């Protein structure tokens, strides 16, 4: 077979970005027969970020040969070869725009192949695969180098595919069907009876008994301004059997460590389970799997075949986010033939036996129907200031293929009607819309959803729209509902109580924060061209202070400044690789991994939840409190709005301490360093 392994470098990731480099290797019978590499001059000037990332300068591109000649030469080079790329949809789209015509060649995506052959790996980026599989590493982010690594990866995938059992390959081949031309990975396997995936019963957990239940536990709703782990643990130990809901992975680990003498269950992703009845149905009736979902199903099946992890206890994120899983994680039957080996029922049993059950907020909202089967002494909603943001951003996306697959499992008139009605979804009354959603999810019809019907009429995005309804259900899960955050009151209102409509008592707590808030008025606003240079020059005065956090309102600016800093300070690259917490770059919705002595806020979080400025600034105050070190810290804010003293005055309560407005750089450096070091 004749393959062309290729990679592109571009001016960015958006539709108006352009190709700036092409690298390719032509291979016949796994032998390299020719190569292709060239720079391409774009119509627009490339950014410093791209130059830093790739090493390609505008001067290099200005010397590139004529675009029409490159197009002609590359079309001649690829001929009728099978094209191979990593995350091929990206490269295909850019290449077609560059060639100004659709590609007729068949395209193979090594990202899909790698997930099929190595489903147990946590990352399938080209760089991570090269590292994990001990392949020859070339300098990344140059097109020809990436094409070379791509070829090495492809050979490794072929080699590993030969180690699969014939019966396993027979099953995967049947699942994939004609959706992909992956015949080259099956050719080395003799025909055999297809494998069956045997479900093994999960063993019981062995833990210590809970022995600290407070019999005089208060019932009701309570808002606690608590920030330290000690305060949280103290509350937990006096609150009986508890459901704990958190946002940050770091907090999950800290709680598990502090409560390790009790029966503690990390139930993260508990609502992502395998319905054995559905799994067996699709394995026996592979024609019931829509074409566009076959590769995803094969990757999922490959994971189960290799790991036997039917409870998904050790599943990497790409498996937990596999599009197939939501079609298998449906439970519509009170009783079925698989009750004894049902992963969902096993999780129910584990929850019943546990003293503390830890979830993340998406688990709580998506798994609320299942959680209504339990009654806890207490429910704790930690990092509660994030609740409106999390709830408003949660979406479940369904395609026609998802609905077709689910309908194929239940061939009754009721379910087939769902697929028919989907074609006219936007014109249906609300009750019928809710009926469709309840048939393809684990939610009841009574839920109120926010549905966005996409322009192509091929998919559906489902979100939660009624916080009051949802939190009224949450209040039924526990005798005591406890919401914890650094702050609840902002401008005289409890913003989380206002959102959840859970009326309760608020317990405020005075704190002696050793935080200096500084607004450098002498810098341009972050959206000005000069800002990046001014900011980097300012940071040079503080580069010895660690740990340090950079917070951004948008990803593009974050990546640009991050790249500049990595180029200037070698310790930053090393720290990020080691994840030692000495430095971090985040956006507001990211969880925080450490406590920082120096924090730079590049733009206020005004887009955090619609146009509610008060909530955005309330969120900022809590976010900063979550992030600051316990010793003396300094926070520097950069935003054009802060040059308006009336704006600062209006939102002064959003700063942990009164902000200093400094107009001279020398004063800022002097004040901050003196504050932190005394």
The full DSSP string for 96-138 is HHHHTS---S-EEEHHHHHHHH-TT-S---HHHHHHHTTPPP-
Alpha carbon distances (Å) from 401 to 111, 272, 439: 21, 19, 14
Provide the b/e sequence for 205-233 (b: ≥16 CB within 10 Å). eebeebeeeeeeeeeebbbbbbbeeeebe
H/E segment holding residue 241 = none
Catalytic residue (choose from 124, 141, 189, 675): 141
In degrees rounded to 5, what are phi and psi of residue 463? -130, 170
SS3 call for 203: coil
Rounded to whole angstroms, how far apart are CA atoms 174 and 508? Answer: 61
- 281: which 2 tokens? 């149905």
Rounded to whole angstroms, how far apart are CA atoms 167 and 135? Answer: 29
- Sheet bearing 395-399, strands edge to edge: 395-399, 459-464, 449-453
DSSP label of 583 = E
Cα 270 from chain centroid (whole Å): 17
Rounded to whole angstroms, how far apart are CA atoms 164 and 87? Answer: 24
Could you confirm whether 141 is annotated as catalytic? yes
Crossing angle (nearest 10°) for helices 570-578 and 555-568:
120
The full DSSP string for 545-568 is --SEEEEESSHHHHHHHHHHHHHH
Q: Catalytic positions, please?
A: 141
């Amino acid at each position: 077979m004749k393959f062309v392994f290729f990679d592109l470098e571009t001016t960015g990731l958006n539709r108006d970005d352009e190709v700036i480099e092409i690298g390719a290797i032509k291979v016949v019978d796994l032998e390299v027969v020719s190569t292709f590499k060239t720079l391409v001059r774009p119509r627009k000037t490339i950014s410093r970020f791209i130059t830093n990332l790739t090493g390609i300068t505008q001067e290099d591109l200005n010397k590139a040969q004529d675009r029409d000649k490159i197009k002609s030469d590359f079309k001649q080079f690829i001929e009728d070869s099978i094209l191979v790329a990593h995350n091929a949809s990206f490269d295909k789209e850019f290449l077609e725009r560059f060639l100004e015509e659709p590609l007729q060649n068949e395209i193979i995506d090594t990202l899909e192949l790698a997930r099929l052959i190595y489903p147990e790996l946590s990352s399938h980026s080209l760089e991570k695969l090269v590292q994990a599989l001990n392949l020859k590493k070339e300098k990344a982010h140059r097109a020809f180098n990436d094409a070379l690594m791509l070829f090495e990866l492809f050979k490794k995938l072929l080699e590993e595919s030969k180690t699969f059992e014939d019966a396993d390959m027979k099953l995967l081949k049947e699942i994939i069907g004609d959706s992909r031309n992956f015949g080259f990975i099956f050719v080395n396997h003799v025909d055999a009876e297809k494998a069956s995936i045997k479900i093994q019963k999960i063993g019981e957990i062995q833990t210590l008994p809970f022995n600290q239940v407070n019999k005089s536990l208060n019932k009701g709703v309570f808002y606690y301004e608590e920030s330290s782990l000690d305060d949280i643990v103290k509350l937990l130990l006096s609150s009986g059997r508890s459901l704990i809901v958190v946002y940050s992975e770091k907090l999950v680990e800290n709680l598990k460590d502090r409560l390790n003498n009790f029966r503690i269950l990390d139930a993260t992703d508990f609502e992502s389970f395998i319905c054995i009845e559905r799994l067996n149905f699709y394995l026996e009736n592979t024609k019931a799997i829509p074409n566009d979902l076959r590769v995803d199903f094969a990757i999922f099946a490959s994971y189960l075949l290799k790991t036997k992890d039917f409870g998904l206890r050790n599943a990497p994120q790409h498996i937990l986010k596999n599009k197939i899983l939501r079609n298998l994680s449906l439970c519509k039957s009170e009783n079925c033939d698989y009750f004894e080996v049902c992963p969902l029922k096993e999780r129910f049993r584990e929850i019943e036996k546990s003293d503390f059950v830890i979830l993340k907020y998406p688990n709580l909202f998506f798994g609320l129907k299942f959680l209504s089967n339990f009654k806890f002494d207490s429910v704790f909603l930690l990092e509660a200031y994030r609740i409106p943001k999390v709830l408003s951003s949660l979406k479940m996306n369904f395609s026609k293929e998802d609905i077709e697959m689910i309908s194929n499992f239940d061939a009754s008139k009721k379910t087939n009607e769902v697929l028919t009605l989907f074609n006219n979804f936007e014109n249906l009354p609300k009750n019928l819309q809710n009926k469709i959603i309840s048939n393809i999810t684990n939610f009841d019809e009574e839920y109120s959803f926010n549905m966005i019907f996409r322009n192509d009429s091929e998919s559906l995005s489902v979100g939660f729209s009624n916080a009051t309804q949802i939190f009224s259900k949450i209040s039924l899960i526990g005798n005591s509902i406890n919401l914890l955050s650094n702050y609840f009151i902002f401008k005289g209102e409890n913003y989380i109580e206002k959102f959840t409509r859970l009326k309760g008592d608020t317990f405020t707590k005075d704190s002696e924060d050793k935080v200096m808030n500084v607004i450098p008025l002498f810098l341009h606003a972050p959206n000005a061209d000069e800002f990046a240079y001014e900011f980097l020059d300012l940071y040079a005065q503080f580069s010895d202070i660690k740990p340090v956090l950079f917070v951004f309102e948008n990803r593009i600016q974050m990546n640009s400044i991050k790249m500049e800093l990595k180029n200037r300070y070698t310790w930053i690259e090393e720290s990020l690789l080691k994840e030692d917490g000495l430095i971090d770059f985040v956006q507001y919705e990211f969880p925080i991994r450490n406590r920082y002595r120096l924090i730079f806020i590049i733009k206020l979080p005004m887009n955090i939840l619609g146009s509610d400025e008060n909530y955005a600034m309330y969120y900022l105050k809590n976010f900063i409190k979550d992030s600051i070190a316990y010793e003396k810290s300094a926070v520097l804010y950069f935003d054009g709005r802060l040059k308006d003293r009336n704006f600062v005055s209006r939102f002064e309560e959003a700063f942990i301490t009164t902000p200093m407005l400094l107009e001279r750089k020398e004063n800022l450096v002097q004040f901050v360093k003196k504050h932190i070091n005394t």
